Amino acid sequence: MPRTPPLSASAAGVEAQSRDELRDELVWFRKHYPLVEQELADFKILYDTIVQHADLMQAELINRCVELEARNREINDLNRKLASTQKELEHLVRTDPLTQLANRRFFDATLEREWICLGRDRKPLSLIMIDIDFFKLYNDSYGHQQGDGCLIAVSKAMRDAVHRNDDVVARYGGEELAIVLPNTDEEGATAVARKCLENMRALAIPHRSSPLCDRVTISLGLATAVTPDLQQPVDTLIRRADTALYHTKATARNGYTVYSELAGRSQAGREG
């Protein structure tokens, strides 16, 4: 086996220095190892504490999220109930409780609004006034409860005569009804009046006390503003429709009168 050659003096000195440095490092390590070990233990405790707190915070956050979701569901339910209640209130405010037609207040507001809007747009507005013929005699003969049933049935028949969302059928007062027909000319309003009469014939409600016939009938008067005059009040249209209605009631009943035809005859009489 070969022998290791002897080290030179300089090499021996380097090796001795390296051993001294290594010994010093070993001494330092032995001296500081417990401190490092303690720091590692402290760090592990700190880490475990942080993890524990993180778990608690996560659990708390999850609980809060669950509570918020439940609260949001409650708020959404309350909002839906509020919207439903508001819709019911709006319906009650604008609806006649017996006939379920628009009430007089809603009729007035609608007619006023359409008068202004259509006057600005220069479009026609028509109004039909309707009266149940000899309704007092019907009540006297059949009783008020059956009279209410008759009024409800007639109201439904009038409502079924229109099909546009903008058209409004209202209880004007007592046994008098009204139909507001926005953007409808005289020809269109006349077609609606005829449909009302047709629906009444199909309804065929008996009326033994009527001097006219053996069933309930209606009289109608209609007026059209080709372009609502914003310098005139909306009552102008109501008065014209009423005038046409009274003419129907004063003549044959169970029919309709167009105001423009009355006005034309009156003008022709004055000119003659």
Active site residues: 175
Q: What is the 3-state secondary structure (H, E, C) of the chain?
A: CCCCCCCCHHHHHHHHHHHHHHHHHHHHHHHHHHHHHHHHHHHHHHHHHHHHHHHHHHHHHHHHHHHHHHHHHHHHHHHHHHHHHHHHHHHHHHECCCCCCECHHHHHHHHHHHHHHHHHHCCCEEEEEEEECCHHHHHHHHCHHHHHHHHHHHHHHHHCCCCCCCCEEEEEECCEEEEEEECCCHHHHHHHHHHHHHHHHHHCCECCCCCCCCECCEEEEEEEECCCCCCCCCHHHHHHHHHHHHHHHHCCCCCEEEHHHHHHHHHHHHHC
